[in-house]
Amino acid sequence: MSAIRFDNVWKEYGDHIVLERITLDVAPRAFVALVGPSGCGKTTFLRMLLGEETPTRGRILIDGRPMPSEPDADRGVVFQRYSVFPHLTVLDNVLFGRELQQSRLLGRLFGRARREATEQALALLDEVGLKGHEHKYPASLSGGMQQRLALAQAIMRGPKILLLDEPFGALDPGIRADIHVLMKRLWNETELTVVMVTHDLSEAFSLATRVIAFERNRNRPEERERYGATISRDLEIFPRRIAQPRTDHPIRSGRDDPAAQGA
Ligand SMILES: Nc1ncnc2c1ncn2[C@@H]1O[C@H](COP(=O)(O)OP(=O)(O)OP(=O)(O)O)[C@@H](O)[C@H]1O
């Protein structure tokens, strides 16, 4: 079954058609890169997938079921900037999502549940290369470190789908190359299906299993409002890139542990 299905989805703002006739099946554990010219609706697509926007026509299915109308823990997101909370330490940023998820009323975990969540957060911070920075605040981290933290924060909630909106776009090339290695590893080690918007074609082709381009077929000024962008290219990367699962990933074990879930 598809992890994500777009079934003839349209998105219009008033008279302005942004996206039209988007039909798409994404396999579980795929890594999809979305590319296309500025303003063609990539972020709008991602926001629909997150549940921040609803299609004006058509429907979106997640694991074969209609998508919940609001963002939930099954979908994590990392933006180019400002994904982390500046007033929380690195460790608390990673714990925050889990605390809200498991303890909706108080937004805090106590006792064993907190100890276990802290252990997982520390393991995850180690994995993303932030060991030793747990008690710092985001402002004292570099841009690359902040994006590593944003990835850890999103993954800590154990999402099935990770949405990335140009997450590495503001980073210097060397830092970006390092974080690409990390991103590949996280994708390999978890069960994530990833959808990433990027302007960088080489990034798309080096990370993704599939590259999808959005484009407007009709782009004359008088046509801009009346015709939306559609999928103009849909390329599977060859040779096929397949995620290699790791069974002892700290987050996956967190999801599977009923004590941690229900505490
Ligand atoms: N809330 C909104 N209300 C009205 N129009 C909107 C809204 N959000 C997006 N749009 C319009 O939808 C179109 C697509 O925007 P979107 O941000 O999805 O494009 P994009 O491909 O992500 O662009 P970029 O690559 O520059 O980030 C733009 O013309 C934008 O003005």
204: domain CATH number is 3.40.50.300
Binding site membership of 80 for ligand 1 (Cβ less than 6 Å): no
Are 129 and 182 spatial neighbours (Cβ–Cβ below 8 Å)? yes
The mean predicted confidence, pLDDT, of the chain is 86
d(CA 171, CA 143) in angstroms, rounded, equals 7
102 contacts: CB under 8 Å, gap ≥ 6: 109, 113, 117, 260, 261, 262, 263
Binding site membership of 110 for ligand 1 (Cβ less than 6 Å): no
Residue 223 included in any domain: no
- Mutation pick for ligand 1 pocket among 9, 15, 17, 18 (CB with most ligand atoms within 8 Å): 18
Q: What is the pLDDT of residue 109?
A: 67
Distance 257 CA to ligand 1 centre (A): 40
Residue 102 has pLDDT above 70, yes or no: no
- Residue 253's pLDDT band (boundaries 50, 70, 90)? very low
- Residue 249's pLDDT band (boundaries 50, 70, 90)? low
- Residue 107's pLDDT band (boundaries 50, 70, 90)? low
Distance 19 CA to ligand 1 centre (A): 10
Residue 18 included in any domain: no
Q: What is the pLDDT of residue 81?
A: 84
- Residue 219's pLDDT band (boundaries 50, 70, 90)? low
User: CA nearest 28: which of 187, 200, 227?
Assistant: 187
Residue 101 has pLDDT above 80, yes or no: no
d(CA 62, CA 170) in angstroms, rounded, equals 30
- Residue 256's pLDDT band (boundaries 50, 70, 90)? very low
Give residue 238's domain range. 27-54+65-212+233-262
Distance 153 CA to ligand 1 centre (A): 26
d(CA 88, CA 180) in angstroms, rounded, equals 26
Distance 43 CA to ligand 1 centre (A): 7
Q: What is the pLDDT of residue 263?
A: 31
d(CA 150, CA 158) in angstroms, rounded, equals 13
Are 34 and 45 spatial neighbours (Cβ–Cβ below 8 Å)? yes
Which amino acid, residue 97? G
Tokens (6 digits) for 84 = 């982390």
User: CA nearest 191: which of 121, 124, 244, 119?
Assistant: 244
Residue 238 has pLDDT above 90, yes or no: no
221 compared with 96, residue with greater pLDDT: 96
Q: What is the pLDDT of residue 128?
A: 92
Q: Percent of the chain beyond pLDDT 90?
A: 62
Q: What is the mean pLDDT of residues 30-53?
A: 94
Residue 255 has pLDDT above 70, yes or no: no
Residue 84 included in any domain: yes
- Which residue is it, tokens 């103009």? 232
Residue 21 included in any domain: no
Are 5 and 61 spatial neighbours (Cβ–Cβ below 8 Å)? yes
Distance 246 CA to ligand 1 centre (A): 37
User: CA nearest 45: which of 217, 212, 220?
Assistant: 212
User: CA nearest 56: which of 5, 8, 4, 2?
Assistant: 8
37 contacts: CB under 8 Å, gap ≥ 6: 215, 216
Give the torsion sign (CA, 167, 170, 175, 177).
positive
Tokens (6 digits) for 35 = 């590319």
Residue 145 included in any domain: yes
Instruction: Name the pTM for this structure.
Output: 0.88
66 compared with 82, residue with greater pLDDT: 66
Residue 102 included in any domain: yes
Q: What is the pLDDT of residue 99?
A: 75
Q: Specify the ligand 1 atom closest to the Cα of 44.
A: 18
The tally of domains found in the chain comes to: 1
Q: What is the pLDDT of residue 247?
A: 63
Residue 106 has pLDDT above 80, yes or no: no
d(CA 26, CA 32) in angstroms, rounded, equals 8
Residue 31 included in any domain: yes
240 compared with 192, residue with greater pLDDT: 192
d(CA 138, CA 233) in angstroms, rounded, equals 38
d(CA 227, CA 229) in angstroms, rounded, equals 7
184 compared with 105, residue with greater pLDDT: 184
Q: What is the pLDDT of residue 110?
A: 64
Residue 36 included in any domain: yes
Q: What is the mean pLDDT of residues 188-203?
A: 93
User: CA nearest 157: which of 243, 239, 75?
Assistant: 75
